[in-house]
Amino acid sequence: MALYVAQSPFGFSALDMIHIAAIAVVFGMIALLDLRLIGVAFTDYPVTALSRQVLPWTWAAFALSAITGALMFTGQAVKYSVNFGFQMKIVLMAIAGINVLVFHFITYRGVAKWDRDATVPLAGKLAGGISLACWIAIVFYGRFTAYYHYP
Amino acid sequence: MPELSQWVGNLPLSQMMRRITWLIPVLQSLHILSIGMVLASVVMIDLRVWGVSRAGTLAATGRRFLPWLWIAVAVATVTGIGLMFGAPRSWRDGAFLAKLYLMGAAAVATLALPLVLRWNGGAEEKDDRFVAGFVATAALVLWLGATLAGRGRWIAGMLGG
């Protein structure tokens, strides 16, 4: 499989095509929820209702981008490991992951109290802001990965 | 007679854009982010039209998500035009042509969206939802197709284009 990806221009291009479309969907869906948490959009929409609609698509798209990403990585694992853009993507995804865990297991516990409020507690706003910043940066570093000059 | 993409590539503007090494990747990133927002907005509208979500009327759903859809399309268009100048693609590239056609069709569906969502004034007439469903689903499929075609060079390669 790794050899096919490494040697076939079609294989890599096909994975790349799906990977970018999937990550676009991940960003778009997460951005909707983040904008709600920050308080700049959909403030009349209960947070729980928005989450319920947004998150399944987000997870599905993320799974697709992770699988395509992993397959592309196996084709050139050594090269990607020293690629600064790729390294930053991994770091940022880890930060985003921790952010999600903190939000889900701590902040979200009390959601019933502020579900319908236009203004969400500070912890929720921070989670939304960190998430949005991380995912925007991930897309930028993802592009940077393709342009990285190996010394 | 030079090919259009070569002619554009030789323009001073195009060469200047490529000299600023970070410009094209930044434009591409903004393009991807805005397309993501386009897709997400259409998905949210579709979820309501399909009945997966029951929150509010079709008109209210339109009012909620269409502004974001339009802003995202605007950003995608501006960055797209920038990329056409800075990193021109050949009209002979089958995937690029496919993307343009799909985008055109998607734009038509997107323009029709506010109309089909507003026809349903208050009562959820079955006919209104069918039309809205058709247009909204078409919009999603077309935008997704255009997104994939944007990186679909392998398709062109397979077809010999």
Output the average pLDDT for chain B: 84
- Check if the beta carbon of residue A82 is closer than 8 Å to that of residue A150: yes
Q: What share of chain B is helix, strand, coil (3-state, %, to 5)?
A: 80, 0, 20
Residue corresponding to tokens 């940066």: A137
Which token pair is A134? 């991380």
Distance from CA of B1 to the nearest CA of A (A): 31
Tell me if B35 and A42 make a contact (CB, 8 A cut-off).
no
Kindly state the average pLDDT of the residues B119-131.
Answer: 62
With CB atoms and an 8 Å threshold, state whether B44 touches A147.
Answer: no
Residue B119 has a pLDDT of 58
Residue B88 phi, psi (nearest 5): -65, 140
Is the pLDDT reported for residue B60 higher than 90?
no
CA of A43 to nearest chain B CA: how many angstroms apart? Answer: 10
- Most B CBs within 10 A among A143, A145, A149, hence the mutation to make, goes to A143
B18 touches chain A (CB under 8 A): no
Contacts of B123 (CB under 8 A, 6+ apart): none
Does residue B124 sit in helix, strand or coil?
coil
Q: Is the pLDDT of residue B83 over 70?
A: yes
Domain ranges of chain A: 8-147
Counting as low any pLDDT under 70, the low residues of chain A are 1-10
What is the model's pLDDT at position A1? Answer: 60
Compute CA distances A24 → A58, A73, B35, whole Å. Answer: 10, 19, 7
Task: Answer for the pair B117, B41: CB distance below 8 angstroms, yes or no.
Answer: no
Dihedral angle sign, alpha carbons of residues B140, B146, B147, B152: positive
* Residues of the domain holding B65: 4-158
Show the tokens assigned to A28: 């778009």
Dist. CA B40–CA A7, nearest whole Å: 34
- In chain B, what residues touch A41 (CB-CB under 8 Å)? 68
ipTM of the complex: 0.89
User: What's B87's DSSP letter?
Assistant: S
Q: Among candidates A31, A47, A54, which has minimal Cα distance to A120?
A: A47
Question: How many structural domains does chain B have?
Answer: 1
A98–chain B nearest CA distance, Å: 22
- Would you place residue B161 in the very low, low, confident or very high pLDDT band (cuts 50, 70, 90)? very low
Please indicate whether, in this complex, the C-beta atoms of A41 and B68 are within 8 angstroms of each other.
yes
**Rounded-to-integer distance, Cα B77 and Cα B90, Å:** 18
Pair of tokens at residue B131: 């039309």
Q: What is the pLDDT of residues A35-55, one digit of tens each?
A: 999 999 998 899 999 999 999
Which chain B residue is nearest to residue A30, measuring alpha carbons? B40
**How close B59 comes to chain A (CA, Å)?**
15
